[in-house]
Structures are given as structure tokens and as C-alpha cells.
Amino acid sequence: MNWRSCFSIFMVIFVVLAFGVMMTSCAKPPRKPEAALDTPEHHVFTGNRLLDKGDYAGAQRSFELALQLDRKYSPAYVGLGLVFANQKNFEKAFENMKKAKGLAEKPDDKVNAHVGMIRLYSLERKEKWIEKAIDEFEDAIKINPKSSAAYFFMGRAQKFAFNFDKAGEMFKKVLDLNDKYLIEADSEWKVVQKIQRAAPGSLIGKKIALIEEITRADVAALFIQELLLEKLYEKRTPKRFDTAYQAPGKKFEADRIVKAEAATDIQNHVLRADIDTVLRLGVRGLEPSPDHKFFPSAKINRAAYAMMIEDILIKVSGDEKLATKFVGSKSPFPDLRNDLPYFNAVMVMTTRGVMEAKDLSTGEFAPMGPVSGADALLIIRKLKDELRFF
């Protein structure tokens, strides 16, 4: 090798080393704490609190403040991964979560990273996501068999996968551990129990079961696919035929009339077929407005739902007296006057055990309160039981 070659190699090595030294010297040093609580731990705690509230910008700022103090702080990367996942930026979400797993050294940090991956898969829900979440869960409990977080978020993952029995087992385990996530697990377990009792048979029923506040479109789908309302009406209500005489000319004119659509705001709705069927059947409370609007995204309250269920009960049973059975009666609910238009419906539903007071300790019915998917399904299940008597 001649001197020119040696010199070239030396220069290349020199340039690489010089660049490395320059990059190291230019790297931003960790920020110095400016207050007693200006710590990575406190910023991650704040970030998680904001994340739970849906304040993703605030949460991201908190997690980044933690990383300014410690670039290798694994829980901060878990937090950032969840921020990006909730904003549907899964590329950045996985990027940050992989950093969190790579930097995790303490057992708690390793468990936290595995739990973060469970939550990430639960939000993304791509092919075989539940199997991947289970793998992360098993890795987490190998490190800490008493990790409440691992059991809680695996329970939520199983719930999102419609594995309600397995979800219930996970939430029950959290309650048995009696550590973190007690309140959240108790709430989730009660929802799962309602869904199990309601036993939704259709995929749309299982999906709606997870919704906290259902809409008019959701109710239409539940009535058609879970209650099987169309078949129920055909079976229980007599067919009506128009046998009145019509002059040929009048019949011809009637055939030329173009009937307006019952609802003009559902053309592209994914549940249009169910909505159209409900409109044709004519369920009280699910009628279109005078200007032919259905308002599929409008939320349903408990009073409106009671009126819908009452209408179905009356039509199927043929007992028209139910419509006025409790008019003028004394209200047993402190928040429900007996002169309200939905009072009779509420009384019919509650006296038959199809619905009950929202707050059993105070006896309040909460007529304007929302209806969750789990509650809606359970009420339909109870209505089915009630209809067996007719």
C-alpha cells in the first residue's frame, strides 16, 4: 500500500471521528430542572392524566418535558406512543412504543411498555391484533403477575374483540388484586355483565354494546337485527288489506304520484337499510321530522327509549289499554311528573321490569339521561322475555 492510499484512509477516519465529536458536542444537553416537581416522573403522571381526559396536545407537551430532562425515560415514550395512537398516527405510535421497550430497564418500566403495546393494539385493531395483545400481556405478567394495569387493559382488549367472558375474567382479577384501576375495572365489569345477560346475537349488536351513548341509527339497527322487529310484527300483527273500491281513473292518477322519501338525510348512512325498515314499520319516537329528516346521529335519552319500547309492546300484544294505563297515577320517581308525555311509557316499562330507575339509591329515573349500548341491549332482552307472555 503506497503513502497516498494510507493518507486517504487516514483522512476518512479523521473526518468520521471529527463528525462524531462535532455531533456529540452539538447534541442538546438535558434540561436542568426548574422546580421541585420538574421531574420526568411528575411530567409523565401529568401527561397520563391529560391523556385520560382526551387532551392530547397537553399530554404530548408533558411527555416531551419529561424527555427534555431524561432522553432515555421509557414511560415518556409510552405516553407519546399512546398520544399518537389516539390521533390515528400509528406509525409514530409504534416508533415511540418500540423506543420505550428498548429503553426499559426496571421491571416496572418493562411492564409499562408491554401494557402500552396492549393499549396500542387495542386502538389500531388490525389483523391478528388480539393475538399480539395477548403476547404482550403474557410477557407483562411474567415480570409482574400482580400487575393490575396488565389485567385491566387486557380486559378492555378482550372486550373490544367481543370476547366478553374473557374480558369479565380480567376485570374480576383486577378487583381481586385490590390495587390500581379498581373503580375503572368495577365499571367495566358491570358493563360486561350487562352485555353477557343481553347476549347480542348479531355483529352490529356486539359493536353497539360497546357504545356509551347510542343514537337513533343505532336503535334502528338494534330493533331490526337484535329484536328482529320486522319478523316480530309480521308474526304478531294481522295483515291489513285495502279492499275499498277505486275507480280506474283515480287509481291511474295515484300511480303517477311520486312518493317523497321518508328521510332525506340517510342516503349514505351505513345503517340505512335498518333505518328504512324502521321507518316503514312506524315505531313511535323514530318517525321522521315534518321536513323528512331522520337525524341518525341524534342521541337517544331514556324517556324516548321507553316510549319506543312501549309502542312495540302495544303493537305486538294488541293491548291498546297500555297506552293510557297509568295516566293520572301518582309518580313513584322524584324526577318524573305524572303530566309528562312519556310518564305512561316509563311506568309501563318499569312496572313490568323491562326498565328500572337509573339510581336505585335515590329512586331517580333520569328520563333525559343517555342510553348506553349495553343498557339498550339488556332492555331488548327483557322485552323479548315480556313478549313471551302474549
Report pLDDT for 235: 77
Say whether 308 sits in a helix, a strand or coil: helix
Residue 24's pLDDT is: 45
Nearest to 308 by CA among 324, 339, 290, 286: 286
- Is the model's pLDDT at 245 over the cut of 70? no
pLDDT of amino acid 38 = 81
Under the banding of pLDDT at 50, 70 and 90, the label for residue 60 is very high
How many other C-beta atoms are found inside a 10 Å radius of the C-beta of residue 310? 26
φ/ψ of 161, rounded to 5, equals -90, 5
Domains of the chain: 40-203 (1.25.40.10), 205-387 (no CATH)
Q: Which of 381, 388, 383 is nearest to 199 (CA)?
A: 381
Q: What is the pLDDT of residue 241?
A: 52
Helix (H) or strand (E) holding 306: helix 302-317
> Distance (Å, rounded) from C-alpha 151 to C-alpha 327?
50
Q: Residue 36's pLDDT is what?
A: 72
DSSP class of residue 301 equals B
What pLDDT is attached to residue 247? 60
pLDDT of residue 252: 47
**pLDDT grade, residue 236 (50/70/90)?**
low
pLDDT at position 21: 46
Per-residue pLDDT, 223: 96
Counting residues of the chain whose pLDDT is more than 90, the rounded percentage is 79
Question: How far, CA to CA in Å, does 12 sit from each of 5, 15, 19, 239?
Answer: 11, 5, 11, 92
Contacts for 279-285 with beta carbons within 8 Å, 24 or more apart?
281/229, 281/230, 281/233, 283/223, 283/229, 283/308, 283/311, 283/312, 284/308, 284/310, 284/311, 285/311
Model pLDDT for residues 173-200, shown as the tens digit of each residue: 999 999 999 999 999 999 999 999 999 9
Q: Which of 72-86, 252-266, 319-333 has the lowest mean pLDDT?
A: 252-266
Question: pTM of the entire structure?
Answer: 0.80
